[in-house]
Structure 1
Amino acid sequence: MSVAHLGRRATLLLVPAMIVGAVMAGSGKSASAEDTDPTAKNERCATRVSIAFTGKEASAAVLANPQGSIDTLLADPAFIERFSRFINGDFNETPGATSAEDSSYHMMKYVLEQKLPYKDMFLGQYRVAGDAQGNNVQVTADPNGLGYFRSQPWQLRYAGNELEGYKLVTAYRIMWNTVGLNLVASTNVPGADISTAARTSNPGCTGCHGPADKNAAAPWFALDRAAKVLTKVRRQNGMVTFTPPTEAPQMVADKMVNDDKELVQALVDSPNFSFNACRLAFKFLYGRPENVCESKVFDACVTEFKSKGTIQAALASVAKDPGFCQ
Protein backbone atom coordinates (compact mmCIF):
# COMPACT_ATOMS: atom_id res chain seq x y z
CA MET A 1 0.00 0.00 0.00
CA SER A 2 1.31 3.47 -0.82
CA VAL A 3 2.03 6.02 1.84
CA ALA A 4 1.71 9.80 1.56
CA HIS A 5 4.26 11.86 3.41
CA LEU A 6 4.36 15.58 4.11
CA GLY A 7 5.35 15.61 7.79
CA ARG A 8 8.54 16.80 9.40
CA ARG A 9 11.44 14.44 9.72
CA ALA A 10 14.40 14.48 12.10
CA THR A 11 17.66 14.32 10.18
CA LEU A 12 21.21 14.86 11.38
CA LEU A 13 22.93 18.07 10.32
CA LEU A 14 25.90 17.09 8.17
CA VAL A 15 26.71 19.63 5.49
CA PRO A 16 27.28 22.71 7.68
CA ALA A 17 29.42 20.65 10.04
CA MET A 18 31.69 19.76 7.13
CA ILE A 19 32.00 23.43 6.23
CA VAL A 20 32.77 24.41 9.80
CA GLY A 21 35.34 21.65 10.05
CA ALA A 22 37.06 22.88 6.92
CA VAL A 23 37.26 26.41 8.28
CA MET A 24 38.67 25.18 11.58
CA ALA A 25 41.22 22.99 9.87
CA GLY A 26 42.34 25.81 7.62
CA SER A 27 42.73 28.27 10.48
CA GLY A 28 44.59 25.87 12.74
CA LYS A 29 42.43 26.94 15.69
CA SER A 30 40.56 24.71 18.11
CA ALA A 31 36.79 24.58 18.29
CA SER A 32 36.81 26.41 21.62
CA ALA A 33 38.93 29.17 20.13
CA GLU A 34 36.54 29.47 17.22
CA ASP A 35 33.62 29.89 19.61
CA THR A 36 35.24 32.78 21.49
CA ASP A 37 37.12 34.59 18.70
CA PRO A 38 34.72 37.10 17.05
CA THR A 39 36.83 37.34 13.92
CA ALA A 40 36.95 33.58 13.47
CA LYS A 41 33.20 33.27 14.09
CA ASN A 42 32.54 35.97 11.51
CA GLU A 43 34.74 34.24 8.94
CA ARG A 44 33.00 30.95 9.62
CA CYS A 45 29.58 32.57 9.16
CA ALA A 46 30.69 34.30 5.96
CA THR A 47 31.97 31.02 4.55
CA ARG A 48 28.74 29.23 5.39
CA VAL A 49 26.53 31.95 3.93
CA SER A 50 28.52 32.36 0.73
CA ILE A 51 28.89 28.65 0.01
CA ALA A 52 25.23 27.95 0.79
CA PHE A 53 23.93 30.62 -1.58
CA THR A 54 26.51 30.78 -4.36
CA GLY A 55 28.89 27.84 -3.93
CA LYS A 56 31.79 30.30 -3.86
CA GLU A 57 34.20 31.61 -1.26
CA ALA A 58 33.11 34.69 0.65
CA SER A 59 33.79 38.09 -0.90
CA ALA A 60 35.08 41.05 1.09
CA ALA A 61 31.53 42.40 1.34
CA VAL A 62 30.21 39.13 2.76
CA LEU A 63 33.15 38.86 5.17
CA ALA A 64 32.34 42.35 6.42
CA ASN A 65 28.70 41.53 7.15
CA PRO A 66 27.79 37.87 6.50
CA GLN A 67 24.08 37.66 7.28
CA GLY A 68 23.58 41.28 6.31
CA SER A 69 24.70 40.34 2.79
CA ILE A 70 22.01 37.72 2.24
CA ASP A 71 19.60 39.99 0.37
CA THR A 72 22.41 40.94 -2.02
CA LEU A 73 23.37 37.30 -2.52
CA LEU A 74 19.76 36.46 -3.41
CA ALA A 75 20.13 38.66 -6.51
CA ASP A 76 23.53 37.21 -7.46
CA PRO A 77 23.44 35.31 -10.80
CA ALA A 78 25.46 32.54 -9.12
CA PHE A 79 22.67 32.03 -6.58
CA ILE A 80 19.97 32.12 -9.25
CA GLU A 81 21.76 29.45 -11.25
CA ARG A 82 22.51 27.34 -8.18
CA PHE A 83 18.96 27.43 -6.82
CA SER A 84 17.39 26.80 -10.23
CA ARG A 85 19.54 23.69 -10.60
CA PHE A 86 18.63 22.63 -7.07
CA ILE A 87 14.90 22.91 -7.82
CA ASN A 88 15.27 21.00 -11.07
CA GLY A 89 17.13 18.25 -9.26
CA ASP A 90 14.53 18.12 -6.50
CA PHE A 91 11.60 17.97 -8.93
CA ASN A 92 13.14 15.43 -11.31
CA GLU A 93 15.10 12.28 -10.48
CA THR A 94 17.17 12.56 -13.66
CA PRO A 95 18.07 15.33 -16.14
CA GLY A 96 15.81 15.72 -19.13
CA ALA A 97 16.79 14.30 -22.49
CA THR A 98 16.79 17.88 -23.78
CA SER A 99 17.06 21.25 -22.10
CA ALA A 100 13.39 21.90 -22.81
CA GLU A 101 12.41 18.86 -20.74
CA ASP A 102 13.99 20.53 -17.71
CA SER A 103 11.19 23.08 -17.72
CA SER A 104 11.30 23.55 -13.95
CA TYR A 105 14.90 24.80 -14.20
CA HIS A 106 14.05 27.44 -16.80
CA MET A 107 10.85 28.50 -15.04
CA MET A 108 12.57 28.81 -11.66
CA LYS A 109 15.37 30.87 -13.15
CA TYR A 110 12.86 33.21 -14.76
CA VAL A 111 10.87 33.62 -11.54
CA LEU A 112 14.05 34.45 -9.59
CA GLU A 113 15.42 36.86 -12.18
CA GLN A 114 12.11 38.72 -12.40
CA LYS A 115 11.57 38.59 -8.62
CA LEU A 116 8.13 37.07 -9.11
CA PRO A 117 6.00 35.33 -6.48
CA TYR A 118 6.92 31.67 -6.11
CA LYS A 119 3.38 30.64 -7.06
CA ASP A 120 4.03 32.00 -10.57
CA MET A 121 6.32 29.01 -11.01
CA PHE A 122 3.14 26.93 -11.23
CA LEU A 123 0.30 29.35 -11.98
CA GLY A 124 1.96 32.06 -14.08
CA GLN A 125 0.78 32.65 -17.64
CA TYR A 126 3.99 31.51 -19.29
CA ARG A 127 5.26 29.04 -21.83
CA VAL A 128 8.57 27.19 -21.63
CA ALA A 129 9.76 26.03 -25.04
CA GLY A 130 12.88 25.53 -27.12
CA ASP A 131 13.77 24.91 -30.73
CA ALA A 132 13.11 21.69 -32.65
CA GLN A 133 16.04 20.04 -30.87
CA GLY A 134 14.85 21.14 -27.43
CA ASN A 135 17.61 23.72 -27.02
CA ASN A 136 17.68 27.54 -26.80
CA VAL A 137 14.86 27.40 -24.27
CA GLN A 138 12.95 30.57 -23.47
CA VAL A 139 10.18 31.52 -21.09
CA THR A 140 7.60 33.68 -22.84
CA ALA A 141 4.21 35.12 -21.95
CA ASP A 142 1.26 32.89 -22.81
CA PRO A 143 -2.32 33.71 -21.75
CA ASN A 144 -3.03 29.97 -21.75
CA GLY A 145 0.07 29.12 -19.72
CA LEU A 146 0.16 27.42 -16.34
CA GLY A 147 3.69 27.87 -15.07
CA TYR A 148 5.57 25.06 -16.82
CA PHE A 149 2.81 22.48 -16.44
CA ARG A 150 1.33 23.09 -19.90
CA SER A 151 4.69 23.26 -21.67
CA GLN A 152 4.72 20.54 -24.33
CA PRO A 153 8.15 19.03 -23.49
CA TRP A 154 7.21 18.67 -19.82
CA GLN A 155 3.79 17.22 -20.66
CA LEU A 156 5.33 14.63 -22.97
CA ARG A 157 8.02 13.73 -20.45
CA TYR A 158 5.50 12.98 -17.72
CA ALA A 159 2.50 11.81 -19.76
CA GLY A 160 2.90 8.31 -18.34
CA ASN A 161 1.73 5.03 -19.85
CA GLU A 162 -1.66 4.42 -18.21
CA LEU A 163 -3.65 2.12 -20.47
CA GLU A 164 -6.74 4.33 -20.75
CA GLY A 165 -4.84 7.59 -21.20
CA TYR A 166 -5.23 8.97 -17.68
CA LYS A 167 -2.18 11.06 -16.77
CA LEU A 168 -1.48 9.59 -13.35
CA VAL A 169 2.20 10.50 -13.59
CA THR A 170 1.38 14.09 -14.48
CA ALA A 171 -1.07 14.34 -11.58
CA TYR A 172 1.54 13.04 -9.15
CA ARG A 173 4.24 15.35 -10.51
CA ILE A 174 2.00 18.39 -10.16
CA MET A 175 1.32 17.57 -6.51
CA TRP A 176 4.95 16.65 -5.85
CA ASN A 177 6.30 19.89 -7.32
CA THR A 178 3.76 22.20 -5.68
CA VAL A 179 3.28 20.76 -2.20
CA GLY A 180 5.97 18.10 -1.87
CA LEU A 181 3.69 15.06 -1.98
CA ASN A 182 5.78 11.90 -1.61
CA LEU A 183 4.18 8.56 -2.42
CA VAL A 184 5.85 5.16 -2.24
CA ALA A 185 4.71 3.03 -5.17
CA SER A 186 3.75 -0.59 -4.71
CA THR A 187 4.96 -3.30 -7.10
CA ASN A 188 2.35 -5.42 -8.83
CA VAL A 189 2.81 -9.08 -9.69
CA PRO A 190 3.00 -9.92 -13.42
CA GLY A 191 -0.45 -10.05 -14.96
CA ALA A 192 -2.12 -8.03 -12.21
CA ASP A 193 -5.16 -6.00 -13.17
CA ILE A 194 -4.05 -2.36 -13.16
CA SER A 195 -7.08 -0.92 -14.93
CA THR A 196 -8.93 2.12 -13.64
CA ALA A 197 -11.67 -0.14 -12.29
CA ALA A 198 -9.15 -2.23 -10.36
CA ARG A 199 -7.24 0.75 -8.98
CA THR A 200 -10.41 2.37 -7.71
CA SER A 201 -11.93 -0.75 -6.17
CA ASN A 202 -9.00 -2.72 -4.74
CA PRO A 203 -8.57 -1.74 -1.05
CA GLY A 204 -4.81 -1.98 -1.52
CA CYS A 205 -4.95 0.72 -4.20
CA THR A 206 -7.70 3.13 -3.17
CA GLY A 207 -5.53 4.57 -0.40
CA CYS A 208 -3.65 6.48 -3.08
CA HIS A 209 -5.90 6.32 -6.13
CA GLY A 210 -9.25 6.92 -4.45
CA PRO A 211 -12.52 4.98 -4.86
CA ALA A 212 -14.54 4.97 -8.06
CA ASP A 213 -17.46 6.78 -6.43
CA LYS A 214 -16.52 10.46 -6.65
CA ASN A 215 -18.74 11.18 -3.64
CA ALA A 216 -17.01 8.62 -1.43
CA ALA A 217 -14.34 9.61 1.07
CA ALA A 218 -10.83 9.64 -0.39
CA PRO A 219 -7.38 11.03 0.40
CA TRP A 220 -6.98 14.65 -0.68
CA PHE A 221 -4.37 13.60 -3.24
CA ALA A 222 -6.39 10.76 -4.84
CA LEU A 223 -4.39 10.17 -8.01
CA ASP A 224 -7.18 8.93 -10.24
CA ARG A 225 -9.41 11.83 -9.29
CA ALA A 226 -6.63 14.31 -10.01
CA ALA A 227 -5.87 12.64 -13.33
CA LYS A 228 -9.52 12.87 -14.38
CA VAL A 229 -9.39 16.68 -14.44
CA LEU A 230 -6.31 16.64 -16.69
CA THR A 231 -6.19 16.14 -20.44
CA LYS A 232 -6.02 12.52 -21.59
CA VAL A 233 -3.21 10.98 -23.63
CA ARG A 234 -3.92 9.65 -27.10
CA ARG A 235 -1.22 7.73 -28.96
CA GLN A 236 -1.60 6.85 -32.64
CA ASN A 237 0.94 6.18 -35.39
CA GLY A 238 3.79 7.30 -33.17
CA MET A 239 2.11 10.62 -32.38
CA VAL A 240 1.02 11.81 -28.94
CA THR A 241 -1.90 14.20 -28.52
CA PHE A 242 -3.91 15.38 -25.54
CA THR A 243 -7.71 15.56 -25.43
CA PRO A 244 -9.85 17.57 -22.96
CA PRO A 245 -11.06 15.90 -19.75
CA THR A 246 -14.63 14.61 -19.70
CA GLU A 247 -15.02 13.43 -16.09
CA ALA A 248 -14.69 16.69 -14.16
CA PRO A 249 -15.38 17.99 -11.63
CA GLN A 250 -13.54 15.92 -9.04
CA MET A 251 -12.80 16.48 -5.36
CA VAL A 252 -9.03 16.97 -5.06
CA ALA A 253 -7.03 18.93 -2.49
CA ASP A 254 -10.28 19.39 -0.54
CA LYS A 255 -11.90 21.31 -3.39
CA MET A 256 -14.07 20.52 -6.40
CA VAL A 257 -11.87 21.19 -9.41
CA ASN A 258 -12.64 21.12 -13.12
CA ASP A 259 -9.26 21.27 -14.83
CA ASP A 260 -5.51 21.50 -14.33
CA LYS A 261 -5.59 25.20 -13.52
CA GLU A 262 -8.15 24.77 -10.75
CA LEU A 263 -6.17 21.80 -9.42
CA VAL A 264 -2.94 23.80 -9.22
CA GLN A 265 -4.77 26.77 -7.69
CA ALA A 266 -6.22 24.51 -4.99
CA LEU A 267 -2.75 23.16 -4.21
CA VAL A 268 -1.17 26.61 -4.08
CA ASP A 269 -3.97 27.84 -1.81
CA SER A 270 -3.43 24.95 0.62
CA PRO A 271 -1.25 25.19 3.77
CA ASN A 272 0.99 22.51 2.26
CA PHE A 273 2.27 24.98 -0.34
CA SER A 274 3.95 27.34 2.12
CA PHE A 275 5.07 24.35 4.20
CA ASN A 276 6.83 22.87 1.19
CA ALA A 277 8.41 26.19 0.21
CA CYS A 278 10.11 26.36 3.60
CA ARG A 279 11.09 22.71 3.46
CA LEU A 280 12.80 23.45 0.14
CA ALA A 281 14.58 26.38 1.79
CA PHE A 282 15.95 24.08 4.50
CA LYS A 283 16.99 21.46 1.96
CA PHE A 284 18.84 24.05 -0.11
CA LEU A 285 20.60 25.73 2.81
CA TYR A 286 21.26 22.72 5.04
CA GLY A 287 21.19 19.82 2.63
CA ARG A 288 18.31 18.18 4.53
CA PRO A 289 14.73 18.86 5.66
CA GLU A 290 14.03 20.72 8.89
CA ASN A 291 14.50 19.04 12.25
CA VAL A 292 11.77 18.95 14.88
CA CYS A 293 13.87 21.17 17.14
CA GLU A 294 13.87 23.84 14.41
CA SER A 295 10.11 24.34 14.50
CA LYS A 296 10.43 27.96 15.62
CA VAL A 297 12.68 28.82 12.67
CA PHE A 298 10.47 26.83 10.32
CA ASP A 299 7.27 28.52 11.51
CA ALA A 300 8.90 31.94 11.12
CA CYS A 301 9.81 30.97 7.56
CA VAL A 302 6.20 30.01 6.80
CA THR A 303 4.96 33.32 8.19
CA GLU A 304 7.47 35.29 6.12
CA PHE A 305 6.71 33.32 2.98
CA LYS A 306 2.96 33.83 3.37
CA SER A 307 3.55 37.55 3.86
CA LYS A 308 5.90 38.15 0.90
CA GLY A 309 5.18 35.25 -1.41
CA THR A 310 8.69 34.83 -2.80
CA ILE A 311 11.00 31.88 -2.34
CA GLN A 312 13.73 34.44 -1.61
CA ALA A 313 11.79 35.49 1.49
CA ALA A 314 11.71 31.90 2.73
CA LEU A 315 15.44 31.43 2.16
CA ALA A 316 16.33 34.73 3.81
CA SER A 317 14.18 33.96 6.84
CA VAL A 318 16.04 30.70 7.48
CA ALA A 319 19.53 31.99 6.70
CA LYS A 320 19.18 35.19 8.76
CA ASP A 321 18.29 33.27 11.89
CA PRO A 322 21.22 33.36 14.36
CA GLY A 323 21.26 29.57 14.47
CA PHE A 324 22.35 29.36 10.84
CA CYS A 325 25.82 30.58 11.75
CA GLN A 326 26.22 28.75 15.06
Structure 2
Amino acid sequence: MHITTLIPAYKTKYLQELLAGLMTQTRKPDRIVISDDSPGGEFTQLLLSPRYANWVATLPLELHVGRRAGAYENFKNLVRLWAGRSELFHILLDDDVIFPDFYAQHLQTHQMAELSCSISARWNANERGQPIEGMPVPEAIASSNSRIMSMGPKAMFSSTVPGSVNWLGEFSNCVIRARCAELLEQPVFGGVSYAGLWDLGFFLAASLQAPIGYIQDRLGYFRAGGEGHSAQRNGPHMKAAYLGYVALAVGGCRIGQVTPEQMRMCATGMAGALVKNYADQPDVMAFVPLLLELGQGSEGAEAAFVEAWHGFLQSHGF
Protein backbone atom coordinates (compact mmCIF):
# COMPACT_ATOMS: atom_id res chain seq x y z
CA MET A 1 0.00 0.00 0.00
CA HIS A 2 1.11 3.56 -0.72
CA ILE A 3 0.42 6.52 1.52
CA THR A 4 0.47 10.26 0.87
CA THR A 5 0.94 12.87 3.58
CA LEU A 6 -1.08 16.06 3.05
CA ILE A 7 0.11 19.09 5.02
CA PRO A 8 -2.13 22.18 5.28
CA ALA A 9 0.73 24.58 6.02
CA TYR A 10 0.25 27.92 7.75
CA LYS A 11 2.49 28.25 10.82
CA THR A 12 6.31 28.26 10.50
CA LYS A 13 6.91 27.99 14.25
CA TYR A 14 7.00 24.20 14.38
CA LEU A 15 8.52 23.43 10.96
CA GLN A 16 11.59 21.69 12.33
CA GLU A 17 9.52 19.35 14.50
CA LEU A 18 7.16 18.67 11.59
CA LEU A 19 10.01 17.68 9.28
CA ALA A 20 11.75 15.66 11.98
CA GLY A 21 8.57 13.66 12.53
CA LEU A 22 8.51 12.75 8.85
CA MET A 23 12.24 12.11 8.57
CA THR A 24 12.30 9.66 11.48
CA GLN A 25 9.43 7.44 10.31
CA THR A 26 10.35 3.75 10.24
CA ARG A 27 8.11 3.52 7.17
CA LYS A 28 8.20 6.85 5.37
CA PRO A 29 5.28 8.19 3.28
CA ASP A 30 5.54 7.74 -0.47
CA ARG A 31 4.65 11.37 -1.19
CA ILE A 32 4.28 14.54 0.87
CA VAL A 33 2.02 17.24 -0.57
CA ILE A 34 2.16 20.68 1.06
CA SER A 35 -0.38 23.46 0.46
CA ASP A 36 1.06 26.71 1.81
CA ASP A 37 -1.72 28.89 3.22
CA SER A 38 0.55 31.36 5.02
CA PRO A 39 -0.39 34.94 4.09
CA GLY A 40 2.88 35.89 2.38
CA GLY A 41 4.25 32.46 1.62
CA GLU A 42 6.41 32.51 4.76
CA PHE A 43 6.13 28.75 5.17
CA THR A 44 7.56 28.11 1.70
CA GLN A 45 10.31 30.66 2.19
CA LEU A 46 11.51 28.99 5.38
CA LEU A 47 11.10 25.47 4.01
CA LEU A 48 13.26 26.31 0.97
CA SER A 49 15.88 28.18 2.97
CA PRO A 50 19.42 26.76 3.30
CA ARG A 51 18.59 25.71 6.87
CA TYR A 52 16.39 22.86 5.62
CA ALA A 53 18.04 22.14 2.26
CA ASN A 54 19.22 18.63 3.20
CA TRP A 55 15.84 17.69 4.65
CA VAL A 56 13.96 18.95 1.60
CA ALA A 57 16.29 17.01 -0.68
CA THR A 58 15.63 13.80 1.27
CA LEU A 59 11.85 13.95 1.60
CA PRO A 60 9.51 13.37 -1.40
CA LEU A 61 7.99 16.85 -1.18
CA GLU A 62 5.49 18.45 -3.54
CA LEU A 63 4.84 22.12 -2.78
CA HIS A 64 1.78 24.17 -3.80
CA VAL A 65 0.32 27.60 -3.04
CA GLY A 66 -2.82 27.36 -0.90
CA ARG A 67 -6.16 28.99 -1.63
CA ARG A 68 -5.97 31.15 1.52
CA ALA A 69 -9.69 30.70 2.14
CA GLY A 70 -9.57 29.10 5.59
CA ALA A 71 -8.14 25.96 7.13
CA TYR A 72 -10.80 23.49 6.02
CA GLU A 73 -10.74 24.83 2.46
CA ASN A 74 -7.02 24.10 2.50
CA PHE A 75 -7.78 20.53 3.56
CA LYS A 76 -10.07 20.13 0.58
CA ASN A 77 -7.52 21.76 -1.71
CA LEU A 78 -4.94 19.19 -0.61
CA VAL A 79 -7.29 16.30 -1.28
CA ARG A 80 -7.86 17.61 -4.80
CA LEU A 81 -4.11 18.00 -5.35
CA TRP A 82 -3.59 14.42 -4.13
CA ALA A 83 -6.28 13.28 -6.58
CA GLY A 84 -6.42 9.67 -5.45
CA ARG A 85 -2.77 8.89 -6.24
CA SER A 86 -2.39 6.44 -3.35
CA GLU A 87 -4.55 3.93 -1.52
CA LEU A 88 -4.20 5.87 1.73
CA PHE A 89 -3.72 9.49 2.73
CA HIS A 90 -3.00 11.37 5.93
CA ILE A 91 -3.80 15.01 6.74
CA LEU A 92 -1.00 16.18 9.06
CA LEU A 93 -1.52 19.58 10.67
CA ASP A 94 1.60 21.70 10.83
CA ASP A 95 1.71 21.98 14.64
CA ASP A 96 1.14 18.30 15.43
CA VAL A 97 3.84 15.64 15.73
CA ILE A 98 3.82 11.97 14.77
CA PHE A 99 6.12 9.44 16.43
CA PRO A 100 8.49 7.17 14.42
CA ASP A 101 6.17 4.15 14.12
CA PHE A 102 3.09 6.14 13.09
CA TYR A 103 2.94 5.10 9.43
CA ALA A 104 4.23 1.59 10.05
CA GLN A 105 1.46 0.83 12.54
CA HIS A 106 -1.29 2.50 10.51
CA LEU A 107 -0.29 0.62 7.38
CA GLN A 108 -0.22 -2.64 9.32
CA THR A 109 -3.73 -1.89 10.58
CA HIS A 110 -5.07 -1.26 7.08
CA GLN A 111 -3.49 -4.48 5.84
CA MET A 112 -5.38 -6.47 8.46
CA ALA A 113 -8.90 -5.51 7.32
CA GLU A 114 -10.91 -3.40 4.89
CA LEU A 115 -11.25 -0.20 6.90
CA SER A 116 -12.48 3.29 6.12
CA CYS A 117 -9.70 4.78 8.20
CA SER A 118 -7.38 4.03 11.09
CA ILE A 119 -7.17 6.25 14.17
CA SER A 120 -4.38 6.05 16.73
CA ALA A 121 -4.40 7.26 20.31
CA ARG A 122 -2.37 10.37 21.03
CA TRP A 123 -1.09 12.64 23.74
CA ASN A 124 -2.14 16.20 24.36
CA ALA A 125 1.03 18.27 24.71
CA ASN A 126 1.81 21.77 25.89
CA GLU A 127 3.35 24.50 23.75
CA ARG A 128 6.83 22.98 24.21
CA GLY A 129 5.66 19.57 22.98
CA GLN A 130 5.71 17.95 26.42
CA PRO A 131 2.86 15.40 26.82
CA ILE A 132 0.54 16.51 29.60
CA GLU A 133 -2.52 14.27 29.30
CA GLY A 134 -4.13 11.55 27.21
CA MET A 135 -7.45 11.62 25.41
CA PRO A 136 -10.56 10.67 27.45
CA VAL A 137 -10.81 7.15 26.02
CA PRO A 138 -13.93 5.20 27.16
CA GLU A 139 -13.15 2.68 29.88
CA ALA A 140 -14.37 -0.29 27.83
CA ILE A 141 -11.82 0.55 25.14
CA ALA A 142 -8.96 1.64 27.39
CA SER A 143 -9.21 -1.58 29.41
CA SER A 144 -9.31 -3.86 26.38
CA ASN A 145 -6.38 -6.21 25.80
CA SER A 146 -6.64 -5.64 22.05
CA ARG A 147 -4.06 -3.22 20.64
CA ILE A 148 -6.20 -2.71 17.53
CA MET A 149 -9.98 -2.61 17.62
CA SER A 150 -12.58 -2.55 14.86
CA MET A 151 -15.42 -0.10 15.50
CA GLY A 152 -18.67 0.33 13.60
CA PRO A 153 -21.07 3.30 13.57
CA LYS A 154 -23.08 2.20 16.61
CA ALA A 155 -20.01 2.28 18.85
CA MET A 156 -18.68 5.44 17.22
CA PHE A 157 -21.86 7.50 17.55
CA SER A 158 -22.88 6.27 21.01
CA SER A 159 -19.44 6.89 22.55
CA THR A 160 -19.12 10.47 21.30
CA VAL A 161 -22.35 12.31 20.47
CA PRO A 162 -24.68 11.88 23.50
CA GLY A 163 -22.02 13.03 25.98
CA SER A 164 -20.37 15.53 23.63
CA VAL A 165 -16.98 13.84 23.89
CA ASN A 166 -14.38 13.58 21.15
CA TRP A 167 -12.02 10.91 22.45
CA LEU A 168 -10.83 10.09 18.93
CA GLY A 169 -8.76 13.18 18.18
CA GLU A 170 -8.43 14.93 14.84
CA PHE A 171 -7.15 14.40 11.31
CA SER A 172 -3.47 14.32 12.34
CA ASN A 173 -3.88 10.96 14.09
CA CYS A 174 -5.98 9.36 11.31
CA VAL A 175 -4.97 7.61 8.08
CA ILE A 176 -7.77 7.52 5.53
CA ARG A 177 -8.73 5.10 2.75
CA ALA A 178 -8.86 6.81 -0.65
CA ARG A 179 -12.56 6.17 -1.27
CA CYS A 180 -13.50 8.18 1.83
CA ALA A 181 -12.02 11.39 0.43
CA GLU A 182 -15.40 12.41 -0.95
CA LEU A 183 -16.74 12.73 2.60
CA LEU A 184 -14.53 15.77 3.15
CA GLU A 185 -16.40 17.72 0.49
CA GLN A 186 -19.82 17.50 2.16
CA PRO A 187 -19.64 17.67 5.98
CA VAL A 188 -23.36 17.04 6.41
CA PHE A 189 -25.63 14.49 8.12
CA GLY A 190 -29.33 14.53 7.33
CA GLY A 191 -29.19 18.05 5.93
CA VAL A 192 -27.35 19.39 9.01
CA SER A 193 -23.82 20.74 8.62
CA TYR A 194 -21.23 19.66 11.18
CA ALA A 195 -18.74 22.40 10.25
CA GLY A 196 -16.62 23.20 13.28
CA LEU A 197 -16.39 19.53 14.22
CA TRP A 198 -15.06 18.43 10.83
CA ASP A 199 -12.73 15.80 12.27
CA LEU A 200 -15.20 13.98 14.52
CA GLY A 201 -17.96 14.34 11.94
CA PHE A 202 -15.68 12.80 9.33
CA PHE A 203 -14.80 9.86 11.59
CA LEU A 204 -18.49 9.17 12.16
CA ALA A 205 -19.29 9.51 8.45
CA ALA A 206 -16.41 7.17 7.55
CA SER A 207 -17.67 4.53 9.98
CA LEU A 208 -20.87 4.35 7.93
CA GLN A 209 -18.83 3.19 4.93
CA ALA A 210 -16.59 0.63 6.68
CA PRO A 211 -15.32 -0.02 10.21
CA ILE A 212 -12.77 2.24 11.90
CA GLY A 213 -9.53 0.62 13.02
CA TYR A 214 -8.62 2.09 16.42
CA ILE A 215 -4.98 1.73 17.52
CA GLN A 216 -4.46 1.85 21.27
CA ASP A 217 -0.83 3.00 21.03
CA ARG A 218 -0.21 6.73 21.37
CA LEU A 219 1.59 7.51 18.14
CA GLY A 220 1.80 11.29 18.28
CA TYR A 221 0.66 14.41 20.04
CA PHE A 222 -1.73 17.30 19.60
CA ARG A 223 -0.29 20.63 20.67
CA ALA A 224 -2.82 22.38 22.90
CA GLY A 225 -2.68 26.13 23.33
CA GLY A 226 -0.20 28.18 21.32
CA GLU A 227 -1.65 29.69 18.16
CA GLY A 228 -4.25 27.00 17.49
CA HIS A 229 -8.03 27.43 17.52
CA SER A 230 -8.22 25.49 20.80
CA ALA A 231 -6.45 28.37 22.55
CA GLN A 232 -8.95 30.96 21.33
CA ARG A 233 -11.92 30.19 23.57
CA ASN A 234 -14.08 33.03 22.27
CA GLY A 235 -13.15 32.52 18.63
CA PRO A 236 -15.76 31.26 16.16
CA HIS A 237 -14.04 27.88 15.71
CA MET A 238 -14.23 26.96 19.40
CA LYS A 239 -17.83 28.15 19.60
CA ALA A 240 -18.68 26.08 16.54
CA ALA A 241 -16.95 23.08 18.09
CA TYR A 242 -19.27 23.25 21.10
CA LEU A 243 -22.43 23.76 19.05
CA GLY A 244 -21.29 21.20 16.50
CA TYR A 245 -22.01 18.35 18.93
CA VAL A 246 -25.69 19.25 18.84
CA ALA A 247 -25.53 19.46 15.06
CA LEU A 248 -24.08 15.93 15.01
CA ALA A 249 -26.82 14.77 17.37
CA VAL A 250 -29.61 16.23 15.25
CA GLY A 251 -28.10 15.05 11.97
CA GLY A 252 -27.25 11.66 13.45
CA CYS A 253 -30.82 11.27 14.68
CA ARG A 254 -32.16 12.08 11.22
CA ILE A 255 -30.11 9.27 9.69
CA GLY A 256 -30.98 6.79 12.43
CA GLN A 257 -27.58 6.61 14.15
CA VAL A 258 -28.55 8.64 17.23
CA THR A 259 -31.73 7.97 19.19
CA PRO A 260 -34.12 10.81 20.07
CA GLU A 261 -33.20 10.27 23.72
CA GLN A 262 -29.48 10.61 22.93
CA MET A 263 -30.17 13.78 20.93
CA ARG A 264 -32.07 15.29 23.85
CA MET A 265 -29.29 14.30 26.23
CA CYS A 266 -26.71 16.03 24.04
CA ALA A 267 -28.80 19.21 23.72
CA THR A 268 -29.46 19.47 27.46
CA GLY A 269 -25.83 18.82 28.37
CA MET A 270 -24.57 21.35 25.86
CA ALA A 271 -26.96 24.02 27.16
CA GLY A 272 -25.29 23.65 30.56
CA ALA A 273 -21.81 23.74 29.02
CA LEU A 274 -22.60 26.96 27.16
CA VAL A 275 -23.88 28.65 30.33
CA LYS A 276 -20.72 27.57 32.15
CA ASN A 277 -18.23 28.61 29.46
CA TYR A 278 -19.90 31.35 27.41
CA ALA A 279 -22.13 33.35 29.75
CA ASP A 280 -20.55 36.56 28.43
CA GLN A 281 -20.98 35.68 24.73
CA PRO A 282 -24.41 36.74 23.39
CA ASP A 283 -24.09 34.90 20.06
CA VAL A 284 -23.62 31.61 21.90
CA MET A 285 -26.05 32.25 24.74
CA ALA A 286 -28.80 32.79 22.17
CA PHE A 287 -28.66 29.02 21.59
CA VAL A 288 -29.32 28.06 25.23
CA PRO A 289 -33.15 28.36 25.14
CA LEU A 290 -33.19 26.55 21.79
CA LEU A 291 -31.15 23.69 23.25
CA LEU A 292 -33.32 23.47 26.36
CA GLU A 293 -36.41 23.21 24.18
CA LEU A 294 -34.69 20.60 22.03
CA GLY A 295 -33.75 18.70 25.18
CA GLN A 296 -37.40 18.73 26.27
CA GLY A 297 -38.55 17.47 22.88
CA SER A 298 -40.59 20.62 22.17
CA GLU A 299 -42.32 20.76 18.81
CA GLY A 300 -40.39 22.80 16.27
CA ALA A 301 -37.24 22.94 18.42
CA GLU A 302 -35.18 20.85 16.01
CA ALA A 303 -36.01 23.01 12.99
CA ALA A 304 -35.36 26.18 15.00
CA PHE A 305 -31.95 24.95 16.10
CA VAL A 306 -30.92 23.93 12.58
CA GLU A 307 -31.95 27.32 11.18
CA ALA A 308 -30.04 29.18 13.91
CA TRP A 309 -27.01 26.90 13.57
CA HIS A 310 -26.72 27.33 9.82
CA GLY A 311 -27.15 31.08 10.30
CA PHE A 312 -24.29 31.04 12.82
CA LEU A 313 -22.03 29.19 10.38
CA GLN A 314 -22.84 31.56 7.54
CA SER A 315 -22.29 34.66 9.67
CA HIS A 316 -18.85 33.42 10.71
CA GLY A 317 -17.77 32.40 7.22
CA PHE A 318 -17.83 28.60 7.62
- The TM-score range, normalised by the shorter chain, is under 0.3
Greater fraction of residues in strand: 2
Bigger helix fraction? 1
Relative to the length of structure 1, the TM-score reads 0.26
Query: Based on CA coordinates, which of the two structures has the bigger radius of gyration?
Result: 1
